[in-house]
């Protein structure tokens, strides 16, 4: 794809938003390329995905303001739905996703990162939803996911004031899991992705389903969701091997995704 590249390293897929001259800003073409890449990921051969941005300054600096400035009300709504649909597709990808945020993650960039399961960032990362300063609201999930991640008060503060936060503050409020020097970011992301990939893939995927489906439910229903996906792990080859290895005090010979 022209604006989004994909590399496979063993069981780990690496998606890179590749528009560095525009700080990897999102426009229709970038979003289309991202959707095509997401659709092409083979979950039988890929056990974790890393999403990052090209260059050392920006993860994704936002949506393309030049393109949005000329949109009608109908075009704006359609653009919001287009981006939301793709980010929902990313969020519901059956395998775990890690955002390796290597710089600016503003507007659509923060929304892209929040659509991933886990976020880690470099020390130069900056996060924010600056949309109200442009006369619009966040349109790719920012008003919804930010509140779920950092709490209502902090999300409202950031969105209403269009205030950015740096890496240390993003870690403090729970927007990211860890902060690394820039040169250590991708090695750390790959290490985490490979650690995830080393575990039983069916079990990991079922954990993601249980968390996602139960998160916004009341506890009794969430428990039922967990019971379902817990039960689905039994009688798999990986469950048998994992438990046999434990009982025999040996390492797993290798999970087969079966």
DSSP assignment string, 50-116: EEEESSSSEEE--B-HHHHTT--HHHHHHHHHHHHHHHHHHHT-SS-EEEEE-SEEETHHHHHHHTS
pLDDT digits (tens, 9 = 90+) for 143-184: 999 999 999 999 999 999 999 999 999 999 999 999 999 999
Would 258 be classed as within a structural domain?
A: no
pLDDT of residue 215: 87
Give the model's confidence band at 209: pLDDT under 50 very low, under 70 low, under 90 confident, else very high: very high
Q: Is the pLDDT confidence value at 110 over 80? A: yes
Would 252 be classed as within a structural domain?
A: no
- Residues above pLDDT 70, as percent of the chain: 100
> Which position among 111, 147, 157, 241 bears the catalytic label?
111
Distances (CA, A) of 171 to 76, 129, 162, 176, 246: 32, 17, 19, 5, 35
pLDDT digits (tens, 9 = 90+) for 51-63: 999 999 999 998 8
Residues 70 and 121 in one domain: yes
pLDDT digits (tens, 9 = 90+) for 32-90: 999 999 999 999 999 999 999 999 999 999 888 888 899 999 999 999 999 999 999 99
Structural domain boundaries, residue 226? 201-247
Distances (CA, A) of 235 to 32, 47, 230: 39, 20, 11
Q: 226 catalytic, yes or no? A: no
Q: 35 catalytic, yes or no? A: no
Give the model's confidence band at 237: pLDDT under 50 very low, under 70 low, under 90 confident, else very high: very high
> Which position among 7, 9, 56, 131 bears the catalytic label?
131
CATH number at residue 214: 1.10.12.10
pLDDT of residue 174: 97
CA distance 225 to 218: 11
Q: Is 122 helix (H, G, I), strand (E, B) or coil?
A: strand
Mean predicted lDDT score pLDDT of the chain: 95
Give the model's confidence band at 1: pLDDT under 50 very low, under 70 low, under 90 confident, else very high: low
Residues 94 and 210 in one domain: no
Would 257 be classed as within a structural domain?
A: no
Residues 28 and 124 in one domain: yes
Would 89 be classed as within a structural domain?
A: yes
pTM of whole model > 0.85? yes
Residue pair 59/113 in contact (Cβ under 8 Å)? The answer is: yes
């Amino acid at each position: 794809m022209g604006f989004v590249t994909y590399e496979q390293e063993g069981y780990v897929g690496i998606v890179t938003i590749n528009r560095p001259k525009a700080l990897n800003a999102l426009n229709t073409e970038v979003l289309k390329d991202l959707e095509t890449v997401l659709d092409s990921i083979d979950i039988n051969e890929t056990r974790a995905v890393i999403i990052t941005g090209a260059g050392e300054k920006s993860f994704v600096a936002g949506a393309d303001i030049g393109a949005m400035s000329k949109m009608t009300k109908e075009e704006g709504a359609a653009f919001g739905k287009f981006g939301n649909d793709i980010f929902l597709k990313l969020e519901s990808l059956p395998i775990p996703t890690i955002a390796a945020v290597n710089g600016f993650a503003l507007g659509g960039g923060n929304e892209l990162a929040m659509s991933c399961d886990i976020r880690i960032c470099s020390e130069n990362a900056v996060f924010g939803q600056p949309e109200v300063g442009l006369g619009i609201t966040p349109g790719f999930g920012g008003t919804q996911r930010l509140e779920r991640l950092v709490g209502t008060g902090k999300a409202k503060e950031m969105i209403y004031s269009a205030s950015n936060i740096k890496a240390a503050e993003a870690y403090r409020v729970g927007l990211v899991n860890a902060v690394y020097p820039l040169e250590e970011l991708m090695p750390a992301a790959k290490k985490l992705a490979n650690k995830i990939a080393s575990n039983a893939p069916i079990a990991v995927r079922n954990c993601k389903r249980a968390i996602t489906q139960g998160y916004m439910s009341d506890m009794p229903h969430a428990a039922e969701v967990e019971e379902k996906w817990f039960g689905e792990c039994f009688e798999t080859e990986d469950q048998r091997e994992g438990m046999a290895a434990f009982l025999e005090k040996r390492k797993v010979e290798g999970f087969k995704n079966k």
